[in-house]
């Protein structure tokens, strides 16, 4: 069953058009969103979260139009942009104190859990956090307010290979409960091979491919099967 459905989403700009974008996100799945710079990935994400108003189409959350249940939608769906700098001179502790005031279902216990799990020092200023730590902090904020779906724009951009693998392992573990889902844009194909279940490929504002990762690998990444390595999640290892 789909938890988030995008139907014929469109956005018109003077020099760019997002055209009839449609796909679905299911609980327990990681969807990789790929395309070149300027293909429409960030525009799609902003339209999905109503940060910019779509020209046409629908966003359905649990079968209901997201705009009609916007408060609940934004409580349960989190968005994170890889280049977000928050308020760089503020400490993690101070920024969290302000952020949690806006969410009815904020869980302090869950927040403390993720601080410890992700190794985040709440007394540090945001600008003192590494790129990977800023992404983890964004995840902690979203998950602590009860977000079930995470919309992530280039979350692994600028990360070294070790930090990238660590973050992808976090994604895999998060969806292991079959309740959470992750939709993340990337241009790093190895990210998809490691953790994605489904692939949505956008080109010039149009969806070119929308299929599971196995079919995508067979069609677009021709290579001997033995060379395709799918990494197990931590939960599988146990």
Of the listed ranges 56-70, 174-188, 224-238, the one predicted with least confidence: 224-238
Angstrom distance (rounded) from CA 231 to CA 216: 17
* Count of CB atoms situated within 10 Å of the CB of 83: 10
Q: In the 8-state DSSP scheme, what is residue 127?
A: G
Torsion of the alpha carbons at 191, 195, 197 and 199, rounded to the nearest 10: -10
Phi-psi region of 154 (alpha: psi -120 to 50; beta: other; left: phi over 0): left
Average pLDDT taken over every residue of the chain: 88
* Residue 213 confidence (pLDDT): 87
At 4 the pLDDT is 95
**The two structure tokens encoding residue 9:** 């989403």
Helix axis angle, 108-118 relative to 131-144, nearest 10°? 160
Answer yes or no: is pLDDT of 119 > 50. Answer: yes
In this prediction, residues 182-196 reach a mean pLDDT of: 88
Helix or strand holding residue 156 (H, E) = none
Give per-residue burial for 33-67: e unless 16+ CB within 10 Å, then b: bbbeeebbbbbbbbbbbeeeebeebebebeeeebe
Q: What is the pLDDT of residue 88?
A: 82
Beta-carbon contacts of residue 167 (< 8 Å; ≥ 6 apart):
132, 135, 136, 155, 156, 159
pLDDT at residue 143, as a whole number:
92
Band (pLDDT 50/70/90 cuts) for residue 63 is very high
Confidence of residue 78 (pLDDT cuts 50, 70, 90): very high
Residue 202 tokens, joined? 């956008």
Give mean pLDDT, residues 141-165.
Answer: 90
**Which pLDDT band, with edges at 50, 70 and 90, does 108 fall under?**
very high
- Distance CA(147)–CA(132), nearest Å, equals 20
Which domains are assigned to the chain? 4-82+148-237 (3.40.50.300)
Residue 225 reports pLDDT greater than 70: no
DSSP assignment string, 13-74: ETTEEEEEEEEEE-TT-EEEEE--TTSSHHHHHHHHTTSS--SEEEEEETTEEGGGGHHHHH
Tokens for 86, please give them.
Answer: 């928050």
Q: Are 15 and 4 in contact (CB under 8 A)?
A: no
Name beta bridge partners: 59. 6
pLDDT mean over 24-29: 95
Q: How many CB atoms lie within 10 A of CB 216?
A: 22
Distance CA 147, CA 143 (A): 5
């Amino acid at each position: 069953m789909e938890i988030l459905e995008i139907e014929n989403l469109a956005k018109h700009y003077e020099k760019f058009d997002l055209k009839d974008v449609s796909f679905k996100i299911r609980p327990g799945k990681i969807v990789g969103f790929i395309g070149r710079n300027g293909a429409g990935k960030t525009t799609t994400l902003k339209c999905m979260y109503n940060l910019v108003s779509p020209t046409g189409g629908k966003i359905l959350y649990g079968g209901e139009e997201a705009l009609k249940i916007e408060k609940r939608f934004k409580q349960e769906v989190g968005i994170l942009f890889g280049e977000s700098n928050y308020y760089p001179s503020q400490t993690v502790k101070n920024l969290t104190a302000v952020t949690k005031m806006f969410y009815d279902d904020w869980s302090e216990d869950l927040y403390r859990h993720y601080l410890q799990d992700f190794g985040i020092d709440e007394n540090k200023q945001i600008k003192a956090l590494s790129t990977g730590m800023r992404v983890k902090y964004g995840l902690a904020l979203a998950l602590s307010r009860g977000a079930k779906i995470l919309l992530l724009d280039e979350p692994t951009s600028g990360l070294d290979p070790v930090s990238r693998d660590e973050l992808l392992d976090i994604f895999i573990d998060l969806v292991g409960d079959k309740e959470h889902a992750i939709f993340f844009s990337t241009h790093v194909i190895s990210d998809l091979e490691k953790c994605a279940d489904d692939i949505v490929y956008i080109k010039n504002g149009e969806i070119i491919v929308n299929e599971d990762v196995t079919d995508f690998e067979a069609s677009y990444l021709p290579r001997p099967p033995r060379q395709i390595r799918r990494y197990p999640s931590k939960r599988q290892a146990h």
